[in-house]
């Protein structure tokens, strides 16, 4: 039977050789319920907000890590450019000062025991990276 001999509202599947309107996932006649698209606007907004929050949090984490790394690099560069006449020992705290001639130097002497301009106290980690100590002794 040809589809040309059947009216438009009749659903006949020529491959199966049967009427199959009842198995279609969509309405096939005028009397069928109206298909309405679900409102996905709320879901999209919630999803977009969650994604934006996740990316913002990840960005802040990366930015904070980058800023910490730059600060560590600057501290290490400052100490490596400073004068000292001893071999620093891992695990020890050293103090960085500046002389009147603007020359930086590293010392074991605590800030309370000298009159030089104090720049900070630093700890030499096992990775040989200088870490700033916020409390000096």
pLDDT of residue 98: 94
Q: Find the helix or strand (DSSP H, E) in which 98 lies.
A: strand 93-98
Domain boundaries, the chain: 1-36, 42-133
- CB burial of 42-57 (b: ≥16 within 10 Å; e: otherwise) equals eeeeeeeeeeeeeeee
**Residue 14 CB burial class (10 angstroms; 0-12, 13-18, ≥19):** exposed
Q: In the chain, what percentage of residues exceed pLDDT 70? A: 92
Is the C-alpha dihedral spanning 56, 74, 94, 137 positive or negative?
Answer: negative
Q: Is the pLDDT of residue 137 over 80?
A: no
* Average pLDDT rounded to a whole number, residues 19-24: 77
pLDDT digits (tens, 9 = 90+) for 48-100: 999 999 999 999 999 999 999 999 999 999 999 999 999 999 999 999 999 98
pLDDT of residue 135: 67
- Whole-model pTM above 0.85? no
- Neighbour tally for 94: CB within 10 Å: 21
Cα 93 to Cα 120: distance, rounded to the nearest angstrom = 10
Q: Is the pLDDT of residue 33 over 80?
A: no
């Amino acid at each position: 039977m040809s589809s040309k001999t059947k009216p438009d509202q009749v659903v006949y599947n020529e491959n199966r050789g049967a009427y199959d309107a009842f198995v279609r996932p969509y309405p096939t006649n005028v009397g069928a319920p109206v298909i309405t698209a679900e409102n996905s606007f709320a879901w999209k907004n919630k999803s977009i907000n969650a994604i934006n929050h996740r990316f913002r949090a990840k960005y802040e984490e990366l930015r904070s890590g980058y800023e910490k790394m730059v600060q560590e690099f600057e501290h290490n560069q400052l100490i490596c450019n400073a004068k000292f006449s001893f071999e620093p020992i891992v695990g020890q705290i050293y103090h960085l000062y500046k002389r009147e001639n603007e020359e930086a130097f590293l010392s074991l002497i605590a800030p309370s025991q000298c009159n030089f301009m104090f720049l900070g106290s630093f700890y030499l980690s096992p990775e040989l990276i200088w870490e700033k100590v916020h409390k000096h002794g």
